[in-house]
Amino acid sequence: MRVVVSKTSNNAQATAALKHRYADMLGAGVEVWELPDTVVHAKVVVADDVVSFGTVNLDAWALYRNSEIMMIARSAEAAALIEERLFEPDVARSQPGEPPSGSHERFQSLFWNKLGRLL
């Protein structure tokens, strides 16, 4: 499994909260890729021969409080096309994501992750 995120997002607190989960994701075998010089806003998932895409933020706020929309395409051809034209170029420009390292960065990521769960 691969996840592509912004190296630097437009929300430092959300970035810190996400980075708190890097160690868990990496430990589960997920490749985390940080794309530089852009804000990744796409919500696209390719799993087997299914592609989902839309406006849904995959967090509790969006899933339970907002009206969002997601489309699903059950198509091996669509999945291959998204991999080829979206994920492969983005991964090629990205750097592997690393969990927070220093004590300040680890505390900050833990703090924003916990606070974000309350919202």
- Predicted pLDDT at 56: 82
pLDDT for residue 112 is more than 70 = yes
Q: Is 87 left (phi over 0), alpha (psi -120 to 50) or beta?
A: alpha
pLDDT at 82 over 90: yes
CB 48 within 8 A of CB 20: no
Domain residue ranges in the chain:
2-44+80-118
Its pTM surpasses 0.85: no
In this predicted structure, the answer to whether residue 61 has a pLDDT above a threshold of 80 is no
Higher pLDDT among residues 17 and 66, named by residue = 17
pLDDT of residue 119: 63
